[in-house]
Structure 1
Amino acid sequence: MPFRLWFLPAALVVSCGLYTTAQAHPHVWVSVQSELVMDGQKITAINHRWTFDEAFSAFASQGLDENDDGVLSREELQPLAQVNVESLSEYGYFSELYQKGAPDTGETAFGDPYDYWLSVSGDQLVLHFTLPVVADVDTHQEAVLDVYDPSFFVDFTFADKSPAKLLNAPANCHARVERPKGLDDDVASQLAAIPADQRAIPSDLMQFTVAMANQVYLKCD
């Protein structure tokens, strides 16, 4: 099942009572933790950990407990992890990595994801995957990692604890997190009027949803 179709049915189940806010953008909520893997002063990979909201997790995991033991194992969840991670490229992995101030080339900074799996934390599904970095991003000029959905179909938010960290980074490399300020009531109301079966949003709203990016700034002195 393509990634977009994995999300879309979950957003349409309001008639079944699972999603009380399914008629408003956003439809799925994801808490993000990102790890920037370094080799010297070069970013080599991004390790993502995405925790989905409880209602979506319950919907997406229906029927996956094949041995009926009440526990969703990594093996039982692996087919779901695979089909979704393999389809993330259509959405640019909801991630962008670039040098601050550099022109947008339109090219992805990432290769194909690997080391992916789903786990369960309480009542929530957690998707783990690694994005290899194929672009040469100059960390001396400050690199930026954005995580967001410009259509705001999915609301990505950095986790309260450990939203981002560096792995194998030299002492002269430092990261800081910037969270979006949120939407004003008028824009939120316009987004709420977009039906669940419409992923795209009007272009005049895109300037506001793009500003909802969760950002990690990395610089090596």
Structure 2
Amino acid sequence: MKTYSLLLSLFISCGVLAHPHAFIDMQSTPIIENNQLTGFSMKWTLDEPSSSAVIYDMKQARTKAEKQKLLDDVMGNIVSEHYFSYLYDKQNNKIKYSPRPKNYGINVQGLQLQYYFDVPLAHSQNLEKNTFSLQTYDSTYYVAMTYASKSAVDFSALPKNCQGKLIEPNVDEKIQAYASSLDKSQKNEDDSLGVMFAQKIIIQCE
């Protein structure tokens, strides 16, 4: 299954796909324990059209167990795509995640729905003299996953020997024009677009 259809299916039931584009406003916090990076706490807020579809489905669920199953299905899809997140260390080694997210749930904020969850690393990473980069994106760029501002990434848990920053992408005008020209009804087969538009979290430690 293409990432496009899979990512949208996380939030929109199959019969309610009213618009092929979705927008996710993200927040992220690194989880630090004993001077080690152990994971990230994430919040994803859906745009109103996507939110309304999910809220409708949640209302159709009559029992707590049915609602929990809907949430579990969403998280299962997110996990199967490695949380749409790509983490690398100083040597550019890809860091794996645990397939078991923690503390996940749903909040409704006005007309928008927010998923929240913790992404544990498969193995904790030493912070000392290391650098980490994290990007979260839909590889086809049918879904825009963005941090609205630098404050959307909370680095307050980092120890004094570390600093964090959010880097904006520098996208060539031709690439921007190409992306904006894509027909909204077509399935984009170009899996290279998402990373070009992805913001990057950097954690650098002495």
Aligned counterparts of 1:209 and 1:63: Cα–Cα separation in 2: 28
Q: Percent identity?
A: 22
Corresponding residue of 2:136: 147
SS at match of 1:146: strand
Letter in 2 for 1:88: I
* Amino acid aligned to 1:80: L
Aligned partner letter, 2:38: T
Aligned to 2:36: 42
CA deviation string 1:22-62 (max 9, x = no partner): 3xxxx110000001011133111210000000111011211
The gaps in structure 1 that reach 5 residues or longer are: 69-73
Asked if 1:13 corresponds to 2:2, the answer is no
The two structures, once aligned, show a CA RMSD in angstroms of 3.0
SS in 2 for 1:129: strand
1:111, 1:67 → 2: CA distance? 26
Matched residue, 1:188:
179
Question: Residues 189 and 170 from structure 1, CA distance in 2 versus in 1: closer, same or farther, beyond 3 angstroms?
Answer: closer
Secondary structure at 2:107's aligned position in 1?
strand
TM-score (norm 1): 0.75
Q: Following the alignment from structure 1 to structure 2, what is the Cα–Cα distance between the partners of residues 67 and 94? A: 27
Distance 1:59 1:212, change over 3 A: same
The verdict on how the C-alpha distance between 1:8 and 1:183 changes in structure 2, with shifts beyond 3 A counting, is farther
**Which residue pairs with 1:209 in the alignment?**
194
* Deviates most, 177-186 or 94-103: 177-186
Q: Which amino acid aligns with 2:51?
A: S
Q: 1:179 aligns with which of 160, 163, 168?
A: 168
1:3 to partner: Cα distance: 5.9
Q: State TM-score, norm by structure 2.
A: 0.79
Taking the aligned partners of 2:89 and 2:70, their CA distance within structure 1 comes to 33
- What secondary structure, in the 3-state scheme, does the structure 2 residue paired with 1:169 have? coil
The offset of 1:125, in angstroms, is 0.4
Q: 2:102 maps to what in 1?
A: 114
Runs of 5+ unmatched residues, structure 2: 1-5
